[in-house]
Amino acid sequence: MKHRRSSALPFSALKMNLWILLTITSLAECRYLKRAAQSCPDLCSCSFPPSGADVVCSRSSLQQFPVDGLDPNTTRLSIQSSNLSSITASHLSAVPLLNNLQLYHSNLTSLPSDLLKDVPHLNMLDLTGNRLVQLPPNVFSHASLHSLVLKNNLIEKADAEWFSGNSSLTWLDLSGNRLTGVPASLLHKLPNLETLDLSDNNLQDLQPDALSNLHRLESLNLAGNKLSSLTTTIFSHNLKLSQLFLQENQLRELPATLLQGLHNLELLLLNQNQLQHFPSGLLDGRKSSFQMALTGNPWVCDEGMEYLWKWLTVHPQNVFFLEEVTCAGPGALKHRQVVSLTDTELGLQKIQN
């Protein structure tokens, strides 16, 4: 007689499975109790990754810094779209491990000079969309900041005294303020800067040596200002520059050697300026991946256009919206695409003869 093999598990296997089940249940319960013990401030949401607490507060009804219930292991704190009107060093002392602080779109009008003294690990501070007008000396000298965003405030004057010498900052965004100038003494304190955004201010000029200490600069945004000219050597110390945004200014002409030495330049935006001609040699030595924007300038299509006309003809793939690079004059050529012109129309044959 054949014996059927029993489908039931041996007792030892059942015992092992039961032990595994109890262990998993116990671990889950411990994790639940641990999370339950971790507090979270009212009007905020919290998560607890292994790296430390992550707290987000995004209620307009929030009017005071959420000290109560704030986990001391918080590493990231984001307060956004609130009515927070003040913040102090005492508030931040509750989160000594903080490395990322975002205070967007609140009602902050000022900052105390000692704000960051108790958060020695802070490396990212974002104050976008507040009502800051003036900042005190040394306000950014108390932490090893790598990224500072002051975008869309009401700041009228940038002060070198904000920073200590030889700052570790690599990213500075001052866009969307009311700056009429940026002192060279401020930028000289930021030798590690890789990204600088000064767009959408009221800058009328740059000091000739303003960028001379920024040897690591890779991206410079000067768009949306009132720059009418640039000095010949303004970028001569920024040899790592790969992105240069100069659109929406009032530039009338460019020095022939403006881009000399910038062999890493990948992107140049010059649209919406007052340029009429390009100086001979300006674009020499550009790499094949180089891209440029030129639309919205009043190009005068005469013999002075020869250099740019030839360059566009040879490198059409390097120009955004090439068909929109058109002549503003003379009258007979108005609205013509620059690349569609002939040497006769530009008056070049007459010169050669």
Q: What pLDDT is stored for residue 14 in this prediction?
A: 52
- Give the three-class secondary structure for 228: coil
**225 pLDDT above the threshold of 80:** yes
- Residue 79 forms part of a structural domain: no
- Residue 37 forms part of a structural domain: no
- pTM score of the predicted model: 0.88
Please tell me which residue, 10 or 257, carries the higher pLDDT value: 257
Q: Which of 126, 137, 134, 183 is nearest to 156 (CA)?
A: 134
Strands 267-269 and 219-221, sheet pairing: unpaired
- Residue 268 forms part of a structural domain: no
Residues 269, 223: contact at Cβ < 8 Å? yes
- Give the three-class secondary structure for 324: helix
Q: What DSSP designation does 172 have?
A: E
Total domain count, the chain = 1
**111 pLDDT above the threshold of 90:** yes
What's the mean per-residue pLDDT of the chain?
91
Q: What pLDDT is stored for residue 224 in this prediction?
A: 98
> What digits encode the pLDDT tens for the residues 295-313?
999 999 999 999 999 999 9
> pLDDT band for position 266 (50/70/90)?
very high
Q: Which range, 10-19, 32-41, 319-328, is most confident?
A: 319-328
> pLDDT band for position 10 (50/70/90)?
low
**9 pLDDT above the threshold of 90:** no
> pLDDT band for position 31 (50/70/90)?
very low
CATH of the domain at 335: 3.80.10.10
From CA 251, how far away is CA 232, in angstroms rounded?
Answer: 13
Q: Is the Cα torsion angle 60, 113, 140, 136 positive or negative in sign?
A: positive
Residues 339, 322: contact at Cβ < 8 Å? yes
For the chain, give the number of residues. Answer: 353
> What digits encode the pLDDT tens for the residues 122-145?
999 999 999 999 999 999 997 789
Q: What pLDDT is stored for residue 1 in this prediction?
A: 47
Average confidence (pLDDT) over 73-84: 96
> pLDDT band for position 30 (50/70/90)?
very low
Contacts of 239 (CB under 8 A, 6+ apart): 215, 261, 262, 263, 264
- Residue 307 forms part of a structural domain: yes
In Å, what is the CA distance from 51 to each residue of 47, 54, 73, 267?
11, 9, 9, 37
Structure token pair of residue 72:
């001391």
- Residue 304 forms part of a structural domain: yes
- Residue 147 forms part of a structural domain: no
Q: Which residues pair with 292 in a beta bridge?
A: 268, 319
- Residue 76 forms part of a structural domain: no
- Residue 91 forms part of a structural domain: no
Q: What pLDDT is stored for residue 2 in this prediction?
A: 46
Query: Which residue's entry shows tokens 């030889």?
Result: 166
> Cα 105–106–110 angle (5° rounding)?
115
> What digits encode the pLDDT tens for the residues 141-171?
977 899 999 999 999 999 999 998 889 999 9
H/E stretch holding 149 reads strand 147-149
Residues 260, 284: contact at Cβ < 8 Å? no
Which range of residues forms the domain containing residue 343?
Answer: 275-353
Q: Which amino acid, residue 243?
A: Q
